[in-house]
Structure 1
C-alpha cells in the first residue's frame, strides 16, 4: 500500500517486528508527550556505536516513520549487503518512531488524504498540521521552550552518544537535500546516486540553509557557531536545538529531506533570467496570501476557539503576527546582492524560495478551513466558501507553476533510507 502510516500503525508494526526477530529488536518507551502519549524507540543490533534516527519530528512530515520501519526490517532480517553501518555487532540503530505524537494526532487523516496514485496538494494541506516553533520538539529549545519531548530526545542523545543522528524530514515540494551539523566526507556520491536511481531531483539551493556551507549539490553544512549572520532569521541560537546535541559527544546530525512532490526545476542550475524581479514577486506573493488568510481570520476570531485551547488557532495567530513578513524580508539581502551584481541566483534557488512563498499561506488556509468547518456559527459557511476559493486556486497554481509530480511514498522512504545509510557509513568510519 502506497501511503503513510498512522502512529498506531507504526507502533503495531514495530511490535510485530520485535516478535518476528526475537533478540534482534527491542521496543521501549523513552518518554511521554505533553498530552500523555508514549514516545517509543525501536532498537536493532547490539553494537557499541549508535545511530539514532528520529521519525516524524514534524507532524505534517509522516514519511520518516515508513523509512524507520523499512530500515529496521532490513537490519533485523540481515537483508542487503553487510557493511560497517549494518553490522549488528558493531552498530546499534535506535529509531524514535514519532517525536511529536500530539502534533500527529492533529494531522489525523493525512495518511488517507495522501494515499493513492495521484493525491492532490489540496487534500494534503486540508489535513496537515505544523505547530508553532515553540511547540516543535527539535526547535523548541531555540525558542527557550521546555518540552518533555525535547527533554526525552536530549536524554537519549546523552545516553546513547550517537555517532550519527538522522532527523527524518519531508518537504512538500522540490527536491531532496541534506543538512549536516558537520561535514561527512564521502557522503555526497552515494546520496546523489540514490536520488538518481529513484528519479528524484537533488535540490540545488534550499530555503532552509541559504547561507550554509555547500560542498556538493543538495548537501549543506552548518557554518561555524560565530557565523550567526549566515543563519536564517530566527535560528541564531540553533546550537540549542536537538540537532546540535550529538556534537558534545563527537557525533553528527544529518537532517534528511525528501519531497512529496518533485519539482521540475529543483535541479536547474541555469542562471535565473531576472532573479531580482522574481524575489520581489515572491515577497509579494507570501505577504498577499498571508493578508488574505488573515482577513478571513479577522472576521472569524469572535467565534473560533481561543488560542490557549486550540493548537491550530495558535498557529494562525503566530503566522498572522509577523511570520509572513519575516519570510518575505529574509530574501531582501539576496535581492539586493543580485541587484548589485554580487552573483546570479540559479533557477533552482529561486524555485526553492517559490515553494516557501506558496506554502505559508496554504498552511494557514488549510488550518482555518478546518476550524471553519468545525464551527456552528452562522457566519462560518460563507467565510469557508470565501477562503476555499482562494485555497483551491493557490493549490492549482502551485502545481502548475512548479511542474510538480507526486513521488510515491515507497520511493520517498527508499531514498531517505539509502541516504541515512550513506550518512551512517561515513559517520561509523
Structure 2
C-alpha cells in the first residue's frame, strides 16, 4: 500500500485555481451520476444561510473513513484534495479495493463562509487580493471549533447547523479515521495526529520532498502542542488550550468557541489526521541554523508587533463602532479576533521571560515571527475593511466611517506591500498541495489497516 502512495501522488494532475462551492457540488453530483454502483451523494444538513450540505459516500469495505474539506472557509485546498481523492477512488478499482474502506467525503462543510472567500480563488494569488477578500469566522462560528464544550469555568453549547451535520455524520459512521483538511499561508507542511507510528512518520515527512516543499519544523502553532516527529504534532483540544492560558495567568474564559471535531470523534476510538499545507512555501521554515538572538528576543519582538497590529485595528474599530449596524460575518469575526490579538501578545510577553526560552533562536523561528506578523496584519485589516464596506454599502454615509475606511485602506495597502517585499509570495502549484494532502490521507489510513 505504501509503495502505491508514491505512484498516486506523482500522478496528481494540474489545477489552475481553487474550486468554489458550486463547482465542488457539481463535481460530486457528476461522480455519483457516473458511478451509481459505487458512489452516492446525500444531503446531511443545511447551513445557516440555507445552503445544502453534502456528503459523497464511496463504497469499498466495512471500515469507514471520513474526509472533510472546507473546515475553515479560507482554506480551499481541502476541497480540491477531497474531490480529487473521490474521483481517484471511483476511477481506480485497485486503489479502492486495496484500501478496502468506505469513504465519506465532504468537500465543503462551510459553504456560507467559503463563498465570502471565493473572490480570491481565481489566480493570480497576491497578498493584497487575498487579504481584501479574506474571511475567517469568529471562533464560535468555526465548524472545527464549535462542538459542545464544558471545562472548569466555561461552557459552550451554541452548536451551529453545519457542526451538527458533521456531528451526526460522525455518530452515524463511527469512522476509524477522521481527516480534516487545512492550509495556512507561508512556510512548510505539517500535520496533526491523534497518534502515530515510525512508519507513518516516515511517510508524512518524506511526502513534501517529492514536490520540493519544505517541512514546518519550528515550534507548533502553540507551545503546549506536543511534537511527535519533525513537522508532526499531536492533535490538541480546547481543554488543553484553556489550561495553557490559565497557566500563563491569562483569562481562559475569554476564549470563544467550543471543542474540536477531533475531541468529539475520540468517543468512537476514531484516529485523527489534519494536514496543514501552505499557499507560499519558504525554505526558512525548515532551517535550523542558529541566530545571534535568543528565542526570548523573538517572542518579545512578536509581542510588540502583535500589540502594534492590535492597536492600529482597535483604534480604527473604536472610531466607527457606533456607526456599525450591519452584523456582518466580518464584523462578528473582528469582535472575536481583536481580543485574541491582545491575548496573543500578552502570552508571548509571559513566555519571553521563561528561562528555557533564552536559548539561541534558529532561522525557522525567525521566519515564523515574520510570517505570522504579515499574515495577522493582512488577514485582520482586510476583514475590518470588509466590515466597514458592508456598512457603507447599506447607505451609511457617516463622515467618520468614510474617513476611517480610507485611512485603513492605506494601512492595508502598506502592510500588503511590506508582506510581498519581506516574504515574496510565489504560489505553490495546487497539484503539489493536493498531492501532499491526498498522500497523507492514504498513508494515515494505510497505517491503520495495513498489516
TM-score w.r.t. length of structure 2: 0.85
C-alpha contact 1:44 1:88 (8 A) present in aligned 2: no
| Displacement after TM superposition at 1:301 (Å) | 2.3
Summarize the Cα distance change of 1:184–1:33 in structure 2 as closer, same or farther, 3 Å threshold. Answer: farther
Q: Distance in 1 between matches of 2:75 and 2:26?
A: 20
C-alpha contact 1:351 1:402 (8 A) present in aligned 2: no
CA deviations on 1:222-275 (whole Å, 9 max, x unpaired) are: 479996687567699999421122222222111111101112311112234312
How many equivalent pairs are there? 417
Q: Distance in 2 between matches of 1:191 and 1:93?
A: 21
Work out whether 1:170 is the aligned partner of 2:183: yes
- Find the counterpart in structure 1 of residue 7 from structure 2: none
Which range moves more in the overlay, 123-132 or 412-421? 412-421
Work out whether 1:59 is the aligned partner of 2:106: no
Which range moves more in the overlay, 397-406 or 265-274? 397-406
Partner secondary structure for residue 102 of structure 2: strand
Q: Which runs of 4+ in 1 moved over 6 A?
A: 223-230, 235-239
Which of 296, 317, 321 pairs up with 2:335? 317
Q: Distance in 2 between matches of 1:230 and 1:269?
A: 30
Partner secondary structure for residue 405 of structure 1: coil
Work out whether 1:407 is the aligned partner of 2:416: no
CA deviations on 1:89-122 (whole Å, 9 max, x unpaired) are: 820111112111121232241322xx13xx2111
Summarize the Cα distance change of 1:139–1:184 in structure 2 as closer, same or farther, 3 Å threshold. Answer: farther
- Find the counterpart in structure 2 of residue 122 from structure 1: 128
Give the superposed CA RMSD: 2.7
Q: Distance in 2 between matches of 1:140 and 1:224?
A: 12
Which of 138, 142, 149 pairs up with 1:132? 138
C-alpha contact 1:201 1:262 (8 A) present in aligned 2: yes
- Find the counterpart in structure 1 of residue 409 from structure 2: 388
- Find the counterpart in structure 1 of residue 352 from structure 2: 335
Work out whether 1:288 is the aligned partner of 2:305: no
Summarize the Cα distance change of 1:91–1:341 in structure 2 as closer, same or farther, 3 Å threshold. Answer: closer
| Displacement after TM superposition at 1:131 (Å) | 0.9
Which of 26, 31, 35 pairs up with 1:12? 26
- Find the counterpart in structure 1 of residue 262 from structure 2: 243
- Find the counterpart in structure 2 of residue 94 from structure 1: 104
Work out whether 1:372 is the aligned partner of 2:388: yes
Work out whether 1:182 is the aligned partner of 2:195: yes
Q: Distance in 2 between matches of 1:217 and 1:64?
A: 22
C-alpha contact 1:213 1:220 (8 A) present in aligned 2: yes
- Find the counterpart in structure 2 of residue 355 from structure 1: 371
Summarize the Cα distance change of 1:138–1:226 in structure 2 as closer, same or farther, 3 Å threshold. Answer: closer
Q: Which structure has greater helix proportion?
A: 2
| Displacement after TM superposition at 1:351 (Å) | 2.5
- Find the counterpart in structure 1 of residue 318 from structure 2: 298
- Find the counterpart in structure 2 of residue 26 from structure 1: 40
Summarize the Cα distance change of 1:20–1:88 in structure 2 as closer, same or farther, 3 Å threshold. Answer: farther
Q: Distance in 1 between matches of 2:25 and 2:210?
A: 30
Q: Distance in 1 between matches of 2:243 and 2:212?
A: 31
- Find the counterpart in structure 2 of residue 220 from structure 1: 233
Q: Distance in 2 between matches of 1:89 and 1:120?
A: 39
C-alpha contact 1:57 1:169 (8 A) present in aligned 2: yes
- Find the counterpart in structure 2 of residue 78 from structure 1: 92
C-alpha contact 1:212 1:230 (8 A) present in aligned 2: no
Summarize the Cα distance change of 1:383–1:209 in structure 2 as closer, same or farther, 3 Å threshold. Answer: closer
- Find the counterpart in structure 2 of residue 47 from structure 1: 61
Q: Distance in 1 between matches of 2:99 and 2:183?
A: 31
Q: Distance in 1 between matches of 2:85 and 2:219?
A: 27
Summarize the Cα distance change of 1:225–1:278 in structure 2 as closer, same or farther, 3 Å threshold. Answer: closer
Partner secondary structure for residue 22 of structure 1: coil
Summarize the Cα distance change of 1:259–1:329 in structure 2 as closer, same or farther, 3 Å threshold. Answer: same
Q: Distance in 2 between matches of 1:301 and 1:394?
A: 23
Work out whether 1:201 is the aligned partner of 2:205: no
CA deviations on 1:165-199 (whole Å, 9 max, x unpaired) are: 11001101111110112234422222222200111
Q: Distance in 1 between matches of 2:226 and 2:239?
A: 14
Which of 403, 421, 425 pairs up with 2:442? 421
- Find the counterpart in structure 2 of residue 107 from structure 1: 117
Work out whether 1:271 is the aligned partner of 2:293: no
Partner secondary structure for residue 284 of structure 2: coil
CA deviations on 1:117-146 (whole Å, 9 max, x unpaired) are: xx2111011111111111111101344432
Q: Distance in 1 between matches of 2:245 and 2:98?
A: 39
Partner secondary structure for residue 179 of structure 1: strand
| Displacement after TM superposition at 1:206 (Å) | 4.2
